[in-house]
Structure 1
Amino acid sequence: MADSKREIERKYEAATETRLPDLTKAAGVSAVIHRGVSELDAVYYDTPDFRLAAGSLTLRRRTGGSDAGWHLKFPVAPGVRDEIQAPPADTLPGELAALLRSRVRDAEIVPVVRILTTRDVHHLVDDEGGLLAELSVDEVCAQRLPESGGPTAAWTEIEVELADDRDPALLDAVEKRLRKKGVRPAASASKLARALEETAPVSAPPGKGERQTAPVTAGDHVLAYVRRQAEAIVTLDPAVRRDLPDSVHRMRVATRRLRSAFKTYRAVLDRSVTDPVGDELKWLATELGAGRDHEVLDKRLHTRLGGVPQTLLLGPAAARLRMWSIAHGVETRERVLAALDGARYLALLESLDALLADPPLRKAAGRAPGTELPRAVLKDYERLAARVAHAFEQPPGHDRDVATHEARKAAKRARYAAEAARPALGKPAKKFAKRMKAVQSVLGDHQDSVVARDTLRTLAVQAHAAGETAFTWGLLYGEEEASAAGRERELPRVWARASRPRLRRALKG
């Protein structure tokens, strides 16, 4: 079974003759305890075209030390990585292979570098003997694989890793002492990155790919946006599998942004190519939506129930909601994972790669972004305006609920269109996207209320059938009705701000 931990560390350049300063002068450090020297042997793995290195992921199998086994590390922020560990095994454990699937796909994973480390370990402790951080002086020798006589590199580095639940400010204090001794931060983020750079048979570091040039044309800007969203799907895949907070939502948003871009910028990208990809993105968004919609609804209903006074909380309402939540949560989780494990999902990722490798650009792609992008954004705005007007015309009830939901989807598309254009159009696009988001928020909360009322009615029916009182569910239903009505009253004001002519004129430049 794999274990996960958050790794917060800093690396520094060093030499064999480098001597550590007195780190007890660093704020909070009472003593430095020498823990001895260990020999570590790690083989790092990647695809032959270095897909993991391109995403700043590291996969290794280590022998020696206290953490022998398989290690998979994901970047979180500079100096911060999530490390997934699995016990020693001859082959890559399935649970780690699944986390790499979106990048590796059908490619083979092979040894690329072997790194031998002589690690001299010191513990930095507080006045009670509690571990603050582990500092190691590493003598490193790296060899390129799979050839036994591949290029080699050697260096010395200092690594300072923060102990669990300790204040990251400690690392600043330690760095201050190291810098006074002339020790400087390492240029490479990891041992693997440095090993690949220094043992590369060519001058360019493997796995980095060609440097992207700055967008110039409308097509450049649209493709840059599409590329970012496609990369977001691949990057978020492991987070969804690990069930990290908000990961399903963010991945679903990336799929929606892609679909919106294909539709909004159809004058730039040929729809005969993008439409089939968009259909598959819609499928993926639907599968992810099962989990996300449950997450939003579950939080909403628990919040509503938590606000009911005890005198009005009749029957086993909390227990019934908890059972509903668990049952639906397991079901939606299984559905999401089944989608990510299926061949259809991998085919979608491949189709996105193919589209970006050979973009189906149309004539408008070569035009100036200041001309083509505002035209596309404003078309989406006009589509939204028509749907909002239609929603205003509907009487309260089912027809208005449907109309406002359609307006919500249009608001989302107009917002995404402006976000895609923001690098080219600047502040006007940013402001326009902000106003569209405000409209989307009001309409979104209205739709959440519609869905919540439907679920509350189901829970009430189930409670009644079980011989329980349905009073509390009726009370919550009434609260949701009032919430939806409030949003309907709020919409004209929010729409008036979003539909100001000067906002559209600014977008045109």
Structure 2
Amino acid sequence: MAAAEQVEVELKFDVEAGATAPDLRVLPGVVAQRGPQTYALDATYLDTENLDLAGNKITLRRRTGGTDSGWHLKRPTGIPGARKELQVTFDEAPAAAGVPDDLLTPVLALTRNRPLVPVAVISTTRTVTTLLGVDDLPLAEFAEDAVTAQSLLPDGEARQWSEWEFELLEGGTPRLLKAAAKLLRASGGNEPSSASKLARAIGSTPTISEPRIGKRPTALELVVTDLAIHRNSLLAYDPEVRVDAYDAVHQMRVATRRIRSILSGFPTVLDRGRTAHIDRELRLLARILGDARDSEVQMEIDSGLLQGQSASPALIAALTGTETAIHDRALRAAHAAMGSDRYFRLLDDLDALIVDPPVGPDADIPAVAAVDKAIAKSRKQIRKAQADLAALTEGSDDWEEQLHTIRKRAKKLRYATDAGEPLQVKKHRQIASVAKRIQSALGDYNDTRINRARLAELAAGDNGLANSDLFLLGRIDALQEAAGDRAIAAYRRAAKDL
């Protein structure tokens, strides 16, 4: 089955029962209306016993009646008034068959292996008017709802209320939405007491919010805040990785590495012994995601190598053909890992770490002091690696491996400075800039090194390439050699500022 996804942009207002709606034909661009038509809607909302979906402003329901009977999953978009909605009809997934996988997969990182149970039933008498523009183009849909809800939670109550909803359709504009908001408020519409019908039905939930710290935080407060930020980022990219969205693997891997860098960069703020198992599991997750990410990067690089070149189909196939299959295998492995009990236990452990962190001896020192200490340690490690580099023969395998070590330590330094970003310390930002330049330059150099080895392998292999293809490989190799020289020069300039 294929879930249909759309972004809904709507206004919602609480109104008195029986409130008379204004004439919406006065709104800009509206030339006619269709309706009103009344429907009886009956919905059962599902969640875990801990309300993991509701706490993240997500609703999952099974609804009958109206024009869109079926399964619905609604998620925030980060845009005020807008939500992503996934729908699967009962023809594709009958109500008795349970929640369809297309709607479960995007929220697995939240629900994990916990069962979904009914948490509320809501019946709505909905009267719908569709506003039309020129040539009967649908602009918006206005719904007058009389709602009866029953919470199925322990000690849950029954509630009744009335509300108006104004949703933009394909021809709707921000100007229309703004005008509608003004008109509906003037006609008796009040700010909604809850963001959704479910929220109003079940009452308050432990809503997840972006963590914040005070003006003079302790080291523990800063570390826990950073852990929560990157845990939230990991959870946000999880569903994107599951559908192979652009850059999602990269961003989820970054979130995983940042959490690890906090655990290793502030070992005396948290009890290192009690977080070691989380670090090990994060390292494994990063490696699995890394296989998929590395193949993504290589596919991009392969395409870039041939950009502006008159490459034959045979050369294109030889250079890019195998990497796609490698990526597909790596992505399947990542998906399998992300559906395992082991992965869900890791997420549970991260949640527990943030809620009840095991404190170390430096938990109560000022956050600025803790960041300064972590930065000083990272800078010292980089300088030692640079001293070791100076003793090696330039261009040798050991020299190139040492550059890779310096790059990894620069990345660790950058993560340490990023951990202090909420503190808004100028010197931290300056050091972060230098670390980024070093990391970027050495990353570029490493790419050219890998590319040249790949080009040499192609040239030496039995690929059926013509002499003109081999000549082009040599020209690309020369370009990569020059790019590598520029990257090393950029690294040396940045290293002077460390």
Equivalent residue for 1:86? 88
Residue 224 (1) aligns with residue 225 (2): yes
| RMSD (Å), alpha carbons | 2.6
Amino acid at match of 1:271: R
Higher mean Cα deviation, 333-342 or 267-276?
A: 267-276
2:181 to 164, 171, 175: 175
Change (3 A) 1:405 1:461: same
What is the deviation of 1:114?
0.8
For the residues of structure 2 that align with 1:217 and 1:454, how far apart are their CA atoms? Answer: 48
**Match in the other structure for 2:243:** 242
| 2:463 paired with 1:465 | yes
The residue matched to 1:70 in structure 2 has which SS? Answer: strand
Q: CA deviation at 1:467?
A: 4.6
1:42 maps to what in 2?
43
Partner of 2:167: 161
1:226 Cα deviation (Å)? 1.2
Match of 1:504 in 2: none
C-alpha separation between the residues in 2 aligned to 1:41 and 1:461? 68
Q: Deviations over 1:126-149 (max 9, x none)?
A: 2122222222222222111167x9
**Counterpart of 2:136 in 1: which secondary structure?**
coil
Structure 2 counterpart of 1:338 = 336
Do 1:24 and 1:31's aligned partners in 2 also have CA atoms closer than 8 Å? yes
Q: SS state of the match for residue 38, structure 2?
A: strand
- CA spacing shift, 1:5–1:323, aligned 2, 3 Å: farther
Q: Residue 365 of structure 1: CA displacement?
A: 0.6
For residues 54-78 of structure 1, the C-alpha deviation after alignment (integer angstroms, 9 at most, x for no partner) is 1221111111122222112221113
SS in 2 for 1:40: strand
1:381 corresponds in structure 2 to 379
SS of the equivalent of 1:465 reads coil
Write the distance in 2 (CA, Å) between the matches of 1:266 and 1:146: 41
Going from structure 1 to structure 2, the CA distance change for 1:307 and 1:100 (only over 3 Å counts) comes to: same
Kindly indicate whether the alpha-carbon contact (under 8 Å) linking 2:212 and 2:225 is maintained by their aligned counterparts in 1.
Answer: no
Contact conserved, 2:10 with 2:165, CA < 8 A, in 1? Answer: yes
Instruction: Quote the Cα distance in structure 1 between the aligned partners of 2:354 and 2:197.
Output: 31
Aligned equivalents of 2:89, 2:297: Cα separation in 1: 36
* Superposed displacement of residue 429, structure 1: 2.8
Q: Please name the residue that 1:507 is paired with.
A: none
- The separation in 2 between residues aligned to 1:457 and 1:122, in whole angstroms, is 67
**2:201 equivalent to 1:195:** yes
Moved over 6 A (4+): 209-213
Identical positions, percent: 34
CA contact (8 A) 1:79 1:189 kept: no
- Deviation, 1:350, is 2.5
CA contact (8 A) 1:370 1:425 kept: no
Three-state SS of the structure 2 residue aligned to 1:364 is coil
Change (3 A) 1:412 1:187: farther
Question: 5+ residue gaps in structure 1?
Answer: 198-204, 500-509
Asked whether 1:307 is paired with 2:313, we answer: no
Equivalent pairs, count: 486
**Does 1:64 pair with 2:70?**
no
Name 1:418's counterpart in structure 2.
417
How far off is 1:111 after superposition? 0.3
Which of 347, 364, 371 is matched with 1:349 structurally?
347
Describe the superposition over 1:419-457 as per-residue Cα deviations: whole angstroms up to 9, x where unpaired: 112223534333432332232222222223333333444
The one-letter amino acid paired with 1:488 is I
Structure 2 counterparts to residues 253-332 of structure 1, below 5 A: 253-308=254-309, 310=310, 313-332=311-330
Other structure's SS at 2:335 match:
helix
Aligned residue number for residue 143 of structure 2: 136
| Amino acid in the other structure paired with 2:333 | R
C-alpha distance 7-477 of structure 1, shift in aligned 2 (>3 A): farther
**Partner Cα separation in structure 2 for residue 159 and residue 50 of structure 1:** 25
Distance in 2 separating the partners of 1:453 and 1:83:
46
- Residue 110 of structure 1: how far off its partner (Å): 0.6
**For the residues of structure 2 that align with 1:477 and 1:210, how far apart are their CA atoms?**
50
TM-score (norm 1): 0.87
Contact 2:132 2:139 in 1 (8 A): yes
In structure 2, distance between residues paired with 1:49 and 1:161: 31
Unaligned runs of 5+ in 2: none
Distance 1:400 1:125 in 2: 69
Is residue 2:152 matched to residue 1:145? yes
TM-score, reference length from structure 2: 0.89
Q: Is the 8 A contact 1:134 1:162 kept in 2?
A: yes
Relative to structure 1, is the Cα distance of residues 451 and 343 closer, same or farther in structure 2, using a 3 angstrom cutoff? farther
> CA-to-partner distance for each residue in 1:384-439, whole Å, 9 max, x for gaps?
23334544664035333322221121111111111112223534333432332232
Flag the 1:438–1:293 CA change in 2: closer, same or farther, 3 A.
same
1:21 offset after TM fit, Å? 3.5
Q: Does 1:98 align with 2:105?
A: yes
Offset from partner CA, 1:362-400 (integer Å, 9 cap, x none): 111111223222112221122223334544664035333
